Chain A
Amino acid sequence: AQSVTQLGSHVSVSEGALVLLRCNYSSSVPPYLFWYVQYPNQGLQLLLKYTSAATLVKGINGFEAEFKKSETSFHLTKPSAHMSDAAEYFCAVGSSNTGKLIFGQGTTLQVKP
């Protein structure tokens, strides 16, 4: 069975500060992993995906994530937060067997001026 845990339902940073959103997963088969972002009253948009080609994955809007197999983690980072980054972020793990995604509970990012 697969699962994903996002540590911290709310994260608050100052504009210009480092953003770190944590995601840990469990999977009995090689996983593929995604980060999505959701702005208010909208659907989810893909930020980045990991599919085993490289452990450091770069996404849109300056975000990146590093796959660490030994820690079963896929944390999302951005060096300098912008006000427009305020949104809810979801980590998701997919099975290479079934293709179905399991989503984490989400982390709301607040960016303070």
Chain B
Amino acid sequence: DTGVSQDPRHKITKRGQNVTFRCDPISEHNRLYWYRQTLGQGPEFLTYFQNEAQLEKSRLLSDRFSAERPKGSFSTLEIQRTEQGDSAMYLCASSLGGGPGGAQHFGDGTRLSIL
């Protein structure tokens, strides 16, 4: 079990640029989640995949955000035309789903800073 891996660990970019983050979940986990966390807050749910299907997407997620999990393994989260308010830690988690819930295993996150 190598854990959930996220890349890059840090990303600094200028406002208006596009960024893409990658998440490699624990290999046997079929569920993958993306969250955003800012200082002093809990993780904010963004979207969720079961295998390759995107089953839930937060209404807070604007059309500048898109996520994919093309083969049901790794996932990417893209933010287009970044804004100052996008600065945050982006966390990925995976779980082995069956019924409701299941322990989510988080990666170390990608910290995004918008200049």
Is chain B found bound to chain A in the same assembly? no
What residues make up the interface of B, taking CB atoms closer than 8 Å to A?
none
What residues make up the interface of A, taking CB atoms closer than 8 Å to B?
none
